[in-house]
Amino acid sequence: MTTVAVERPRPAGLIAWLASTDHKRIGLLQIAASIGFFVTSGVAALLMRSELAEPGMQVVSRQSYNELFTLHGSGMIYLTITPLAIAVGIYLVPLQVGAAEIAWPRLMLLGLWLFVAGGVIMYLGLAVEHGAAKTGWFATYPLSSSAHSTGKGEDMWICGVFLAVLGNTIQSAGLLATIVRKRAPGMTMARLSPFTWSMLATVLMAITSFPVLLGTMAALEWDRLHGGVFDRSYGPVAYQLLFWFYGHPVVYVMFFPFVGMVAEAVSAFSARRFFGYKGFTLSILLFAALSMSVWAHHMFSTGRVNNEYFSLTSTMLIVPAGLEYFAIIGTMIGGAIVFSTAMLFSIGFLLLFLIGGLTGIIVASPPLDYHLTDSYFYISHFHYTLFGGSLFGFFAGVFYWFPKVTGTLLRESLGRLQFVLFVVGANLTFFPMLILGFEGMPRRVATYPTRFTTLNAIETAGAFVIALGVLVFLVNVWWSLRRRVPAGKNPFGGPTLEWWTTSPPPRLNYDSLPPIRSYAPLFDLTETTAPAEPGPPGRRSRRAPEDKP
Amino acid sequence: MVLGSDTRAEFGSLWSLYEWVMIVTTAIVFGTVLFAAWRYRSRRGHAPSAKSEANVAELVYTLILVVVVAVLVTRTFTTENRVDAIASNVKQHVEVTAFKWGWRFTYPGSGVSVVGDDQRRPTLHLPVDEPIVFVEHSRDVVHSFWVPALRFKRDAWPDDETEFELTVDRAGVYAGRCGEFCGLHHADMNFTVVAESRERFERWLRAQ
Amino acid sequence: MHRRWMPLLVWAAMLAALTAIQFVFSTNPYYWATLGGTAVATAAFAVYYLWRPPLREAEYVPDSSYATVAVALGAAVAVAGVPFGPWLYLPGLALLVVGVGGVVNELRVERSRR
């Protein structure tokens, strides 16, 4: 371990927290901010679903509806799941590689505040004349030009997106530096945990695709202020080609860290080292590379791109995705599975993300996509992947790592309730959308023909069930922090390095490190052939004594 | 008659293949996950397995996935070639102009033009059982000509024309929509397609 | 060759292969320039780090950096000021400059403490 000295005495108080260079505090602040934006974007969704409960306009105006779906999509993508994906890496990666500190801590802090400021600026668009941006989360041109979108709200959206993505890009570079340069002795690249591997793939995609978005947004703003960029022949197509070069990898940035979280939760709660590690790591790099090459599959119906190449690379995604499922399910097979909340969310992830992934393969076929693109089929696809995939994976990670972060356990009873509400709510909300899209309901509409009413009403009910689940989670966090149940260092028998240190970890993460001989160093220490004893869910009783609370 | 532009039939046939693959995959994955969760639940006296890889099985599995990709891509490419093809010597042409928030349909050579907007929905009359070449373009932002019953949409651009060919295989009245978000009244930018026999179509055309 | 750069070089090779396949279908520069560009950038990054001198062993870790927050907020106000005008972006730039000055000062103090 490198010798590190830290500033003493440690500044206390809220202001010190907000300017802290401790990666654990930065990570937690960013998670909290992301959850805050998640709630605001979720409220926008509830307003949309209230409007869509019946045909005709009852709750909001057409203009407001267009603002709502723009803020919902933009809020979820730029301000919630992407920053969340980076933030869980900011917290966990230094711990998992055995580092005392993250690389470039000031830049990580910079990224946090650029993101938060960007989000605030985007929402402030609501307060200006003509209202907030109304062109959707990808701001198709020429709809987003100054001629067709008047008012500063659109410009503020562009600035907000620019700042948030800039912040995340800087943080991704810092995470890459941490993974490559700050590993503890013995922690070779081939011994990185599955989660850290998933973060490596994530930041590679982020660093290479996010700058294209920054350039495109700058160009769009220039076009709005001075013209002459996209308002020419092929300009609108060029805008889309450049945007989607970012717009596809970002959805994998929003996914990979949570696959990594599921991989580790499944490993811990099956009491097995992760299965098929070599296949998993190679396939995650292939998954990331392919994801950089598929972007114009968002443009099949334009008639302006080479559909064949992008359809080929998009369909090839089946291979690495299938290999990841092989590894995770292979970890379950032969394990001793404990059905903690984290394990329940992991199983939910496997099943719900599958629906999202398979519907993705369907729309990767242009003749099918000609009908299904820009319809509710699409909305179902990306909500199954983002909600059923990313968010279920996130909650698997939360229920697994909460004790390490806070020193206390989350309530399993409330966790199960949240899981049930999420599963029921997600399927009620997103499954009927497959049917509606197939039957011809376009996306981004505030009203629809009366024959679509029943399914829309069911979807609205489902959205409120999801909201209830979110509420249950927030209550769980508050209650668990108030009535603490001490967790100890390794309540679940986790195999990776972070379970060696105290809960929560000290400022410099580790006072000592165990020998690192594989990707499951703590399993190496305590590997026994004694039969597993089933303990109460969430508690392991077969680990070595020093790991007990 | 060119079968290739019968988009409804092409979609239906390709969809059947994909649907079958999806159902089988879902059944296998759901079955495996739920079986594994039950069979390998933590029980007294059962230690977890120490095996951490199964390289032969993984390789075979990968090859199966590659075969699935090859089958799907091949069928997709051949279908797409037919759907995107535009036959020569097609008798009927229609010019489509999209604008915020309505449609104009012009039948070149006959001098007939139908226009409508979100207040008054326009009707597009088409002859059945013959290929029709459409040339579309937009007056302002990107719109998209979508007829769900024909399983087809194609974007209309302001900076260039887009050409495609469709065949309506049975008479009827179908809904038409704008398939690309275009602003305030995108949800109301609808049209009606009336597909009828050649004779009735020409009678309608003469009456305009 | 250090093994830690292997994942980056493997990734750059995958991107290069996917770019090469593009030419079977199309020569549109929006395709190969973006994807090929990322392959080149990834490889260049890995190669640069092979030749870079190693990081210092002993480090001093600051516990907070108010100056960094000032840089972020200054940059944000400056960017937000672009559509509004100098009355907004000039104060933003001023805050940014103050923040950068603060960070430079922090680094100076850190170096003297080592």
Domain parsing of chain A, residue ranges: 26-547
Give which of A473, A474, A475, A455 is closest to A463, Cα–Cα.
Answer: A455
B20 touches chain A (CB under 8 A): no
Burial class (CB in 10 A: 0-12, 13-18, 19+), B112: middle
Residues of C in Cβ contact (< 8 Å) with A121: 76, 80
pLDDT at B144: 98
Asked whether residue C81 is domain-assigned, the answer is: yes
pLDDT at A133: 95
- Would the CB atoms of A2 and C58 count as touching at under 8 Å? yes
Counted domains in chain C:
2
Burial class (CB in 10 A: 0-12, 13-18, 19+), A14: exposed
Confidence bin at C42 (pLDDT 50/70/90): very high
- Would the CB atoms of A367 and B154 count as touching at under 8 Å? no
Contact exists between C and A (3 or more beta carbon pairs < 8 Å)? yes
Tokens of B43: 């029980």
How many other CB atoms are there within 10 angstroms of residue B35's CB atom?
A: 13
Mean local confidence (pLDDT), C62-77: 94
Residues C41, C75 share a domain: no
Asked whether residue C58 is domain-assigned, the answer is: no
A110 touches chain C (CB under 8 A): yes
C-alpha distances in angstroms, B73 versus A26, A249, A419, B77?
45, 22, 37, 6
Rounded distance between C-alpha atoms, residue B38 and residue A205, angstroms: 37
Minimal Cα distance from A226: which residue of C? C83
Does residue A542 carry a pLDDT above 90?
no
- Residue B89 amino acid letter: N
Tokens of A211: 């700058």
Asked whether residue C107 is domain-assigned, the answer is: yes
Rounded distance between C-alpha atoms, residue A375 and residue A394, angstroms: 27
Residues of A in Cβ contact (< 8 Å) with B72: 315, 318, 361, 365
Give which of A23, A181, A34, A20 is closest to A498, Cα–Cα.
Answer: A23
Coil, helix or strand at residue B114: strand
Chains that touch C (3 or more CB pairs under 8 A): A
- Would the CB atoms of B180 and A374 count as touching at under 8 Å? yes
Burial class (CB in 10 A: 0-12, 13-18, 19+), A95: buried
- Residue A242 amino acid letter: L
End-to-end CA distance of chain B: 27
Domain formed by B3-84, architecture: Orthogonal Bundle (1.10)
Report the phi/psi class of residue B194: left, alpha or beta, with left for phi > 0 and alpha for psi in -120 to 50.
beta
Quick: pLDDT tens for A99-113. 999 999 999 999 999
Residues of C in Cβ contact (< 8 Å) with A158: 83
- Residue B163 amino acid letter: E
pTM: 0.95
The answer to whether residues A310 and A343 touch, using CB atoms and an 8 Å cutoff, is no
Quick: pLDDT tens for A401-439. 999 999 999 999 999 999 999 999 999 999 999 999 999
Classify each residue of A77-90 as buried b or exposed e, where b means 16 or more C-beta atoms within 10 Å of its C-beta: bbbbbbbbbbbbbb
Rounded distance between C-alpha atoms, residue A341 and residue A396, angstroms: 7
CATH topology for B92-207 is: Immunoglobulin-like (2.60.40)
Quick: pLDDT tens for B134-157. 999 999 999 999 999 999 999 999
Quick: pLDDT tens for A498-522. 999 999 999 999 999 999 999 999 9
Structural domain containing residue C73: 66-113
Give which of A333, A319, A256 is closest to A283, Cα–Cα.
Answer: A319
Residues of chain B with CATH 2.60.40.420: 92-207
Average pLDDT, chain A: 93
End-to-end CA distance of chain A: 27
The answer to whether residues A315 and B72 touch, using CB atoms and an 8 Å cutoff, is yes
CATH topology for A26-547 is: Cytochrome C Oxidase; Chain A (1.20.210)
Asked whether residue C56 is domain-assigned, the answer is: no
Quick: pLDDT tens for A454-476. 999 999 999 999 999 999 999 99
- Looking at this predicted complex, what is its ipTM? 0.96
Residues of chain B with CATH 1.10.287.90: 3-84
